Structure 1
Amino acid sequence: MAERAQYEELIRQFSAFGAVKREMARLLPSDCPGGAFGVMTLLGRHGDMRMSKLAELLAVDMSVTSRHVAHVADRGWIERLPDPADKRSRILSLTPEGQTQLDDIAEWSTQLLAQRLSDWSDDEVGQLSRLMARLRASFDDCRVPAARPPALSGDEQSTRTPAITIK
């Protein structure tokens, strides 16, 4: 198991990674916020699906998913078709315009990464990708509660987030 200092450095790097995510988000068109892009990305990757499946993949509440879907549908990037198996449900489907939007954003993102990582070797880029996929897999099922740190005693309670004890 890694040392405490390694986990602390990893936490600092997660915070710093926010700047990378913000720069990547700047590539999104003004009418395509991150949630809308997430909807289109998942439909592009997994194909047509019900809203409940999309909410599960986004790991957000149905009401949040519904707002994202409405935004994307209003722009003509997805369509909501009746589900033949259950007329009360809708199947979400990426439109050709939505696929074009998704392809354009993917192209811009790829160009940005290629530019910013131009001094990285192919092996380093591959290693980063594999490690990020492995990290994500370690956190994949967000519905399973993580072990909680021990409760703070009355003297220790504050508004700060309690630290997790790492051995």
Structure 2
Amino acid sequence: MITPGTADELLELLRAIMRANRTARLGPESEDMPGWKFAVLGLLAREGEQRLGQVAAHLEVDPSVASRQVAMLEQLGFVTRRPDPADRRAQLLAISPAGLAARDGYLAMRAQWVAEALRSWDDAEVAHLVTRLKQLVGDLHCAIAAHQRPAVRVPS
């Protein structure tokens, strides 16, 4: 079991990593791909076509916010819409080839940035770090789930 001091040090390090990630997303090289654009495009690239409500729920934003964001991406040609065959009143959103290219370019830029930052590391060291960070994330999710209280249901 780790000591409270070590736990505090780890939490401070995780905060520093999050700040570094936020700084990288806000840097001058990423002005064309703010976090919300990358989040929407990444979701559509990973999960395929989605209704607007699903996009909003996944991003944990109000549907009106997601609607504005998707409209901007649609104007840029990064997102397409088509009627949902299951419900013609609804629309399905998909990433376009231009959106995929923009997302891939942004991913390549970030990968290059990480490679430059870790140029003195060898591949085995980075692979070990990735393995341990995955384990950390999994363990943290388990610990959080174990401490969450179940939602209280009010009888109808």
Provide the TM-score with structure 1 as the length reference.
0.73
Does the aligned pair in 2 maintain the 1:36–1:71 contact within 8 Å?
no
Counterpart AA for 1:112: W
Q: Secondary structure at the match of 1:92?
A: strand
Tell me how far apart the structure 2 counterparts of residues 80 and 133 of structure 1 sit (CA, whole Å).
35
* Matching residue of 1:16: 16
1:51 Cα offset (Å): 2.2
Counterpart AA for 2:5: A
Does the aligned pair in 1 maintain the 2:44–2:50 contact within 8 Å?
yes
Alignment of 1:149-160 (within 5 A): none
Counterpart AA for 2:79: I
Tell me how far apart the structure 2 counterparts of residues 136 and 69 of structure 1 sit (CA, whole Å).
30
Alignment of 1:6 with 2:9, yes or no, is no
Does the aligned pair in 2 maintain the 1:72–1:78 contact within 8 Å?
yes
Runs of 4+ in 1 over 2 A off after TM superposition: 51-68, 127-140, 144-148
1:91 Cα offset (Å): 0.9
Does the aligned pair in 1 maintain the 2:33–2:106 contact within 8 Å?
no
* Matching residue of 1:159: none
* Matching residue of 1:109: 110
Q: Secondary structure at the match of 2:91?
A: strand
Tell me how far apart the structure 2 counterparts of residues 18 and 79 of structure 1 sit (CA, whole Å).
32
Provide the TM-score with structure 2 as the length reference.
0.77
Aligned length: 145
Tell me how far apart the structure 2 counterparts of residues 120 and 4 of structure 1 sit (CA, whole Å).
30
Tell me how far apart the structure 1 counterparts of residues 93 and 80 of structure 2 sit (CA, whole Å).
6
Q: What 5-or-longer segments of structure 1 have no aligned partner? A: 149-167
RMSD over equivalenced CA pairs, Å: 2.6
Tell me how far apart the structure 2 counterparts of residues 61 and 4 of structure 1 sit (CA, whole Å).
37
Percent same amino acid among aligned pairs? 32
* Matching residue of 1:118: 119
Which has a greater percent of helix? 2
